[in-house]
Amino acid sequence: NAGVTQTPKFRILKIGQSMTLQCTQDMNHNYMYWYRQDPGMGLKLIYYSVGAGITDKGEVPNGYNVSRSTTEDFPLRLELAAPSQTSVYFCASSSRGSGDLGEQFFGPGTRLTVL
Amino acid sequence: QKEVEQNSGPLSVPEGAIASLNCTYSDRGSQSFFWYRQYSGKSPELIMFIYSNGDKEDGRFTAQLNKASQYVSLLIRDSQPSDSATYLCAVNMGPGGGSNYKLTFGKGTLLTVNP
């Protein structure tokens, strides 16, 4: 049971490039989340999904897109990368929503630098 | 704007002492409260959750909740150097009944336990 896995671990992008951050969970969780974490800051929710085919915006969705075609995978797409998107990105999943006290399990993170 | 506030620290305590970490939140309707531990360069890990007023104990950790004061705290007894990490407070500020899936995170408190 690998839990939540993310690839790549590190990436450097040039301004204007695009990329997809991959996230996969093998716990059959319905709920999945993407966060970003800037130095000295807490986690900001980018997008979340409550099941395959259902996604919704979080607190900071601008510049990102997501899709959820399967229960396992929840990729995050960056279009036209900007320096403001330099951050550490965490994917998380839970078996129930936060309102039901479902614990969120986090992946190891992707450290992205945009130059 | 719904907010979760924590002292950024660093909070420095000697080994064996009690570490007290505090968190306040802005939404009086908040339902559930989580404490995550994050080691440097790693992903957050849930260590406690609480949803009823009062204390909840788990080993060396005690979470305390006072909804009237909109205040939640984490006490770590017999602090060990391995407890040195950033502690993130997270709050579910949505409506109850499991219809909200999102957590709002504080910026975290850096705890250092000195041998």
pLDDT, mean of each 10-residue run, chain A (115 residues)? 93 97 95 92 91 92 96 96 97 77 88 97
Do the chains contact at A96 and B31, CB–CB below 8 Å? no
Return d(Cα B90, Cα B93) in angstroms, integer. 9
Return d(Cα B115, Cα B56) in angstroms, integer. 27
pLDDT for A11 equals 96
Phi, psi of A82 (to 5 degrees): -125, 155
Q: What is the pLDDT of residues B62-109, one digit of tens each?
A: 999 999 999 999 999 999 999 999 999 998 876 554 446 778 899 999
A89 touches chain B (CB under 8 A): no
Pair type for strands B61-66 and B71-76: antiparallel
Closest to A34 in 3D by CA, of A95, A99, A78: A78
- Among B44, B49, B100, beta carbon nearest to A97: B100
Return d(Cα B8, Cα B110) in angstroms, integer. 6
CB A20 within 8 A of CB A75: yes
The B-side interface with A (CB below 8 A) comprises 4, 8, 31-32, 42-46, 49, 51, 88, 90, 92, 94-103, 105-108
pLDDT for B8 equals 80
Do the chains contact at A58 and B102, CB–CB below 8 Å? yes
